[in-house]
Amino acid sequence: MKIDIIKEVSTIIPFKNTRFTSILIILFIIALIAPYVAPPFLTYILLTFFCYVPIVIGFNLLLGYTGLLSFGHGLFVAIGMYTSVYLMRNYGVTSIEIMLILAATLSALAGFGVGLLCIRYVRIFFAMLTLAFSMVFYSFLLKFYWLTGGDEGLGIYTRPALLGMKFDTLYIMDFLTKVYYYYVLAIMVILLIFMYRITTSHFGICLRAVKENPRKADESGLNVKKYRLYAFVISAIYTGIGGALLVQVTRHVVPAITYWTYSGEIVFMTLLGGFNYFTGPIIGAFVYIVLRDLIMSLTIYWRVILGVALLLIVIFVPGGLMGGAKSLSKLIIKKRESYEFS
């Protein structure tokens, strides 16, 4: 029975074709040469996007693969960020590896604790409970200002050592766009490959089974709650690492990261790209970050433009950008076929 359901679900695994691989390789090469051809601010936006990739794919393991909508993932971003900043400011830690490991560990612990309580519910109650935890953490951050800097947050004024190498002589923008950029790119690629392995593995297929039909999965011998908890913890780790990477770019951390609107932005990115696809959230994050930075530089009313864009997507392209592209390509193929027949 267990084998049956796995076979059934494994038919929906995304494409594994050569065209896709070649696109990936081209994108990777573009990413490699970008700092030397693109202007620094574009590289900076790209760097921000790379930091968001672990966050959104971690989030989507929960939404797209397990079927749980978290409205409080800002909590784990904040844990990653505050851990890094705190280590740098108070303990003089410079090695970014230590920060990443500690951020991942703390996010995993927090994810385990929060997840243990949240996974008892699904749908709207799950969303509300995660939101509640995030808000509690928000007021903690506000209250313990001697620890967290309160409303103002904390800034970092030193720069981290990458793989034990220090880059204190470089300008900060050069450090970020020429050195740190490649470091984040490497970590992002590793995390991406790892996540792809997770989602296509036996474990990932079980998660999909849990999403598609929890009762059937349960009857087939899967421990539904255990799988949800594992997904939650992995998701928290990814998000925490993303936060720890991101804080080096923003150079500042504020409690607003745990406010529910920030978590809403993560949901926004994921749905924008399409949560039914592995690449969906990544494309969503890219479009969102580029659009936001672009619109923000043009007008102060960027929210209304983003809001209208979001509404249009929700109403007209429910599959997100990826879903829209897919149905478009299907349409084109259909048309081409009908031409051939006529």
Nearest to another protein of 37, 315 (CB atom): 315
Binding mask 204-243 for another protein (x = CB under 8 A): ----------------------------------------
Q: Please state, in angstroms and as integers, the Cα–Cα distance from residue 209 to each residue in 6, 106, 145, 219, 230, following that order.
A: 7, 29, 44, 11, 14
Query: Binding another protein by CB under 8 A: which of 81, 271, 285, 289?
Result: 271
Distance, CA of 239 to CA of 80 (rounded, Å):
8
Query: Binding another protein by CB under 8 A: which of 315, 339, 340, 341?
Result: 315
Query: Binding another protein by CB under 8 A: which of 133, 175, 183, 286?
Result: 133
Please, what is the minimum distance in Å from the beta carbon of residue 38 to another protein?
Answer: 29
Q: With binding defined as CB under 8 A, does residue 261 bind another protein?
A: yes
The residues in 56-115 that bind another protein, with binding defined as CB under 8 A, are 63, 69, 71
Nearest to another protein of 238, 262 (CB atom): 262
* Closest listed residue to residue 243, CA positions, set 59, 69, 117, 60: 59
The residues in 142-161 that bind another protein, with binding defined as CB under 8 A, are 142-143
Q: With binding defined as CB under 8 A, does residue 260 bind another protein?
A: yes
* Three-state DSSP class for residue 278: coil
Q: Where are the beta strands (DSSP E) in 109-219?
A: 154-155
Stretch that binds another protein, among 94-102, 197-205, 235-243, 259-267 (CB under 8 A): 259-267
The residues in 25-54 that bind another protein, with binding defined as CB under 8 A, are none
Looking at the DSSP bridge assignments, the partners of residue 253 are: 154
Distance, CA of 51 to CA of 243 (rounded, Å):
7
Please, what is the minimum distance in Å from the beta carbon of residue 206 to another protein?
Answer: 21
The residues in 108-127 that bind another protein, with binding defined as CB under 8 A, are 117, 120-121, 123-125, 127
Query: Binding another protein by CB under 8 A: which of 27, 32, 193, 314?
Result: 314
Nearest to another protein of 184, 285 (CB atom): 285
* Three-state DSSP class for residue 72: coil
Number of residues in contact with another protein under rule CB under 8 A: 42
Query: Binding another protein by CB under 8 A: which of 50, 59, 86, 138?
Result: 138
Distance, CA of 264 to CA of 72 (rounded, Å):
8
Distance, CA of 37 to CA of 31 (rounded, Å):
10
- Enter the tokens of residue 143: 């209250």
Binding mask 274-313 for another protein (x = CB under 8 A): --------------------------xxxxx-xxx-xx--
Distance, CA of 135 to CA of 169 (rounded, Å):
40
Distance, CA of 229 to CA of 100 (rounded, Å):
22
Distance, CA of 335 to CA of 332 (rounded, Å):
5
Q: Are strands 252-253 and 154-155 parallel, antiparallel or unpaired?
A: antiparallel
> 């932005």: which residue's tokens?
265
Nearest to another protein of 63, 104 (CB atom): 63
Nearest to another protein of 159, 228 (CB atom): 228
- Enter the tokens of residue 329: 């390509």
Contact 287, 293 (CB under 8 A): no
Q: Which residues bind another protein (CB under 8 A)?
A: 63, 69, 71, 117, 120-121, 123-125, 127-129, 131-133, 135-136, 138-140, 142-143, 259-261, 264, 267-268, 271, 300-304, 306-308, 310-311, 314-315, 318
